[in-house]
């Protein structure tokens, strides 16, 4: 033998490849099948081991030569194939001691033992020396013929003397998402002792750059994905997970970068991106070379254009912002960081969007007043948009967009139409900010503002148009008294030359005293009075969601409760507490506490992403309205998965439910 050391070296290379591609061998074979333009791929148990099959173009001389050499491939990067390294087939050598190829005119056996006998050396590679064989046609022809006839397979890899442990590990880790970015594969049939599954992909072309993929398992829908292709390179794709025509966040393990096959790198958002990325030899990690950076930038541009069009009202894509929220739960990769930063850079420099001029609504200001103040002055999100995209506020806050400031509000107060409720809230903020800094300049500025609702008069007025505090609108005076300390209130109005009431009770003066109503409310004798500002007005004809919103709005520590049930974003109510904390509540109507309930795939993904910020509210929606809460249901409940668009069933939760008091305490202390 001229070069025995060469074969020993090749054997070691094979062992390295097999270890590097551990639990990914089938993925590599699927990729090879896709490059052969196969539409069906199968893994089937047989009497002699198992077979891996496809119905693609049969092998030719060039294909056979490529699989027998390391780093050799008849495919090139950048053309309409996926693999180009020439090492994919070598990844299967850890599965069995003998591999037989049946394709077209070829009936080839790769056998380490026969190669040892032929070369007279101890350590030989498996997939290097092809041996002619007729063993399958003589002993196992019926099984092979059956598979060919039933499934139309044209290429079969038969594995003998199988390592069952390795095989089971490979099968159990199979993930359908490896199929999303392939060019041809539509069906995967797995029939082994470990797993029985038939996965089908159906593709619906929406336009030249959008494809909707529905993934089914035995005709049960398990996932839907919307794929958006870059106009610069059709291989650069962003994939959003969908449900009921709305985008939902993918779970963390799904949200990876694909170089056609999945890597292990988080994209930076709960979605997938695919591109002609360069990877390490295992194809698990992305190398940020010129190829990869270009692909990432193309994918980022897809998202940036989509966000821009949605913000400007040019396109409707419900749930768009959800994948970008609460991403700190995942470990950022260098590629993921670059992807997100490129999106942000594109949005920041877009002159048409002009995000520097966009303002969000302060949490304390009525939305109608925010719209009125911003109209013709700042960019703003109208109420219809926020109803359709409630998650957009969190996204834009994380993006760095500022809320309308008090200074900006006061600068616009005299030209905007502001409600009495809005004026009362603005006035309360003015008192808390200016009472200790009532310089001559600030006093003159406040006196110039039309910000004071006056009894028996329409509109808002300057402070110079009344002389007594008791002339203020009752509701306004009540609000600013509840939200400010007595001494601050007195100091503020005294410096504005407003006469303060002298009597100790409203009954004696027809007005209000400057008692600290905030403190008075905080310590009533009954527990319910401590919890609620007022009694909730529960109506039997209302939905559980509507009644719970009413219930929460009446709680002292709740600043805001917004019903977003119609938006299909994975929760029904967004709750903002007075301390600024925000939680997300999904309502489940039950007949009694302990009754089983279902969680949809959308709700499951959202709960997974928000974790402790996510609550289930179990509502008994009758005349004796009752509610209990479950925090972080994914961690705290035992859920059983069922295939009806993949619902999650909970049959036991008694030890995990908490009262309303505990729900408030958890989020305010």
Confidence class for position 514, pLDDT limits 50, 70, 90: very low
- DSSP characters over 336-378: HHHHHHHHHHHHHT-TTT-GGGB-BPPTTS-HHHHHHHHTTTS
191 against 579, higher pLDDT: 191
* 0.85 exceeded by pTM: no
User: Region 55-74: what's the mean pLDDT?
Assistant: 77
pLDDT at 139: 52
Q: What is the pLDDT of residue 645?
A: 41
The CA distance from 238 to 58, in Å, is 32
Tokens, residue 511 = 């007005």
| DSSP 8-state secondary structure symbol assigned to residue 284 | S
- Sign for the pseudo-dihedral over CA of 503, 505, 511, 515: positive
Q: What is the pLDDT of residue 319?
A: 93
Spatial separation of the C-alpha atoms in residues 651 and 669, rounded to whole Å: 31
CB 183 within 8 A of CB 80: yes
pLDDT tens-digit profile of 530-587?
Answer: 688 888 888 877 889 989 999 999 998 898 898 887 666 678 999 988 888 889 999 9
Q: What's the confidence (pLDDT) of residue 233?
A: 93
Q: Is pLDDT above 50 for 521?
A: no
Q: Which helix (H) or strand (E) holds 210?
A: strand 210-217
- In the prediction, which pLDDT does 274 show? 96
At 152, the pLDDT band (50, 70, 90 cuts) reads very high
Higher pLDDT, 628 or 527: 628
The secondary element (H helix, E strand) that includes residue 191 is: strand 187-191
Q: Phi then psi for 318, rounded to 5 degrees?
A: -60, 135
Q: What is the pLDDT of residues 401-458, one digit of tens each?
A: 999 999 999 999 999 999 888 898 899 899 988 888 889 999 999 999 999 999 999 9
More confident residue, 21 or 465: 465
Q: How many helices (H) and strands (E) does the chain have?
A: 24, 25
| Sheet hosting strand 582-589, strand order edge to edge | 558-563, 573-577, 582-589, 614-620, 626-631
Q: Could you tell me if 66 and 15 are in contact, meaning their C-beta atoms sit under 8 angstroms apart?
A: no
Give the mean model confidence (pLDDT) for residues 26-47. 91
pLDDT at 1: 46
pLDDT for 510: 38
* C-beta separation of 217 from 197 below 8 A: yes
Q: What CA dihedral angle connects 585, 617, 365 and 530, to 10 degrees? A: -140
Give the pLDDT band of residue 260 (cuts 50, 70, 90).
confident
Q: Beta strands 272-274 and 256-259: pairing type?
A: parallel
Residue 20: its pLDDT value, please?
59
Given pLDDT bands bounded at 50, 70 and 90, which one contains residue 5?
low
Cβ pair 53, 42 in contact under 8 A = yes
Residue with the larger pLDDT of the pair 502 and 50: 50
CA angle 59, 63, 66 (to 5 degrees): 155
Contact 173, 51 (CB under 8 A): no
Confidence class for position 320, pLDDT limits 50, 70, 90: very high
Torsions phi, psi of 189, nearest 5?
A: -115, 115
pLDDT at site 527: 45
Which two tokens mark 328? Answer: 């700190």
- What pLDDT digit, counting tens, does each position of 454-491 carry? 999 999 999 999 999 999 998 888 878 877 888 889 99
């Amino acid at each position: 033998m001229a070069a025995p050391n060469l074969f020993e070296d090749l054997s070691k290379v094979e062992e390295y490849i097999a270890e590097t591609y551990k639990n990914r061998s089938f993925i590599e074979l699927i990729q090879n099948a896709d490059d052969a333009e196969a539409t069906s791929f199968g893994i089937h148990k047989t009497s002699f081991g198992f077979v891996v099959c496809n119905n693609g173009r049969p092998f030719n001389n060039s294909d056979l030569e490529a699989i027998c050499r390391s780093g050799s491939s008849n495919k090139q990067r950048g053309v309409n194939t996926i693999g180009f390294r020439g090492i994919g087939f070598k990844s299967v050598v850890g599965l069995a001691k003998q591999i037989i190829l049946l394709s077209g005119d070829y009936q080839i056996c790769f056998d380490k033992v026969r190669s040892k006998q032929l070369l007279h050396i101890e350590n030989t590679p498996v997939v290097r020396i092809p041996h002619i064989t007729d063993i399958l046609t003589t002993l196992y022809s019926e099984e092979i013929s059956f598979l060919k006839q039933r499934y139309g397979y044209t290429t079969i890899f038969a594995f003998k003397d199988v390592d069952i442990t390795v095989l089971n590990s490979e099968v159990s880790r199979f993930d359908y998402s490896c199929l999303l970015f392939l060019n041809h594969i539509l069906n995967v049939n797995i029939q082994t002792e470990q797993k029985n599954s038939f996965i089908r992909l159906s593709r619906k072309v929406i336009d030249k750059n959008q494809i909707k993929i529905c993934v089914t398992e035995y005709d049960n829908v398990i996932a839907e994905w919307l794929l958006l292709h870059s106009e610069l390179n059709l291989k650069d794709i962003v994939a959003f997970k969908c449900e009921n025509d709305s985008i939902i966040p993918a779970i963390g393990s799904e949200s990876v970068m694909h170089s056609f096959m999945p890597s292990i790198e988080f994209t930076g958002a709960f979605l997938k991106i695919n591109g002609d990325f360069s990877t390490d030899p295992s194809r698990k990690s992305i190398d940020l070379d010129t190829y990869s950076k270009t692909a990432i930038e193309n994918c980022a541009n897809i998202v940036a254009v989509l966000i821009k069009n949605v913000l400007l009202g040019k396109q409707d894509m419900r749930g768009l912002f959800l994948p970008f929220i609460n991403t700190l739960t995942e470990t950022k990769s260098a590629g993921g960081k670059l992807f997100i930063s490129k999106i942000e850079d594109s949005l920041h420099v877009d002159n048409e969007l002009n995000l520097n001029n966009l303002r969000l609504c302060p949490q304390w200001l009525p939305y109608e007043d925010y719209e009125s103040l911003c109209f013709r002055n700042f960019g703003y999100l109208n109420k219809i948009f926020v109803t359709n995209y409630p998650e957009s506020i969190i996204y834009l806050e994380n993006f760095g967009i500022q809320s309308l400031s008090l200074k900006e509000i006061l600068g616009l107060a005299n030209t905007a139409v502001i409600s009495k409720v809005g004026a009362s809230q603005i006035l309360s903020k003015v008192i808390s900010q200016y009472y200790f800094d009532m310089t001559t300049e600030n006093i003159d500025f406040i006196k110039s503002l039309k910000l004071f609702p006056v009894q028996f008069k329409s509109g808002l007025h300057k402070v110079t148009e009344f002389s007594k505090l008791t002339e203020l609108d009752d509701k306004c005076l009540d609000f600013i008294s509840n939200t400010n300390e007595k001494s601050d209130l007195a100091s503020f109005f005294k410096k504005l030359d407003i006469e303060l009431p002298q009597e100790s009770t409203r009954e004696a003066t027809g007005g209000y005293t400057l008692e600290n109503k905030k403190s008075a409310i905080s310590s009533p004798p009954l527990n319910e009075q401590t919890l609620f500002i007022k009694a909730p007005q529960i109506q039997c004809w209302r939905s559980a969601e509507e009644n719970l919103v009413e219930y929460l709005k009446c709680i002292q520590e709740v600043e805001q409760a917004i019903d977003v049930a119609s938006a299909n974003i994975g929760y029904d109510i967004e709750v903002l507490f007075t301390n600024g904390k925000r939680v997300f509540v999904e309502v489940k109507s039950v007949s009694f506490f302990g009754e089983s309930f279902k969680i949809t795939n959308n709700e499951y993904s959202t709960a997974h992403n928000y974790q402790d910020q996510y609550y289930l509210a179990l509502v008994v929606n009758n005349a004796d309205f009752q509610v209990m809460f479950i925090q972080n249901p994914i961690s705290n409940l035992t859920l059983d998965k069922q295939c009806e668009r993949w619902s999650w069933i909970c049959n036991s939760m008694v030890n995990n439910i908490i009262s309303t008091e505990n729900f408030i305490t958890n989020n305010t202390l």
